[in-house]
Chain A
Amino acid sequence: SQQGEEDPQALSIQEGENATMNCSYKTSINNLQWYRQNSGRGLVHLILIRSNEREKHSGRLRVTLDTSKKSSSLLITASRAADTASYFCAFTGGGNKLTFGTGTQLKVEL
């Protein structure tokens, strides 16, 4: 399967802590994206990192990409209860489509 694998599948932290989730893939990519999905809602794009970039920041989000290891990580700093959601990586791998990872369920507790 070309599907990306995300780790961990579920993560529970306290508000104010940092949350790190990882994505691994198997093919060469053009870019890698991260999306958030709140319960019962559609996916919302968070950040895109191109294959020639190693790190990118957006607000409290930091994304890294290691193409030699075929992996990416998403760091959310100073997490808030509103960050509770599922997070998916997505990448162009194996054909002209965006392939999504299996997702990490993040729960931020007060």
Chain B
Amino acid sequence: DAEITQSPRHKITETGRQVTLACHQTWNHNNMFWYRQDLGHGLRLIHYSYGVQDTNKGEVSDGYSVSRSNTEDLPLTLESAASSQTSVYFCASSGGASYSDTQYFGPGTRLTVL
């Protein structure tokens, strides 16, 4: 069955370190998204991609970067981790032609920055 996976599921790191969160989907979806979820803020979009070599900034993109070299993967990199980036991160994908189509979510990565 097609799925979307994230790794690691839990990560503890120190301030200033570079961290990369992996997202892999086997739906063959063109569209992929990264969100962070924090109490009181709901889900906020970090970056998104509508296809290979395409990346776009979301509403909370500062301090994060993504690259899309193939259809299946959209890794999220925190260039220099900050305590404010402690959060739960979700990757999602969708196959429709529109950004408003149904999204399929991964299980999440809980990141703690000390």
A residues within 8 Å of B by Cβ? 3, 30-31, 33, 35, 40-45, 48, 88, 90-92, 96-98, 100-103
Chain A binding surface SS class = strand
A88 touches B43 (CB 8 A): yes
Knowing A97-B99, A98-B100 touch, does A42 contact B42 (C-beta < 8 A)?
Answer: no
Residues of chain B with a CB closer than 8 A to A35's CB: 105
Bound-state CA distance A98–B100 (Å) is 6
Chain B interface residue count, Cβ-Cβ cutoff 8 angstroms: 21
A92 touches B99 (CB 8 A): yes
Bound-state CA distance A98–B107 (Å) is 19
B48 touches A42 (CB 8 A): no
A42 touches B102 (CB 8 A): no
- Does B104 sit within 8 A of A, measured CB to CB? yes
Residues of chain A with a CB closer than 8 A to B100's CB: 30-31, 91-92, 98
**Contacting A43 at CB < 8 Å: which of B40, B48, B59, B90?**
B90
A43 touches B105 (CB 8 A): yes
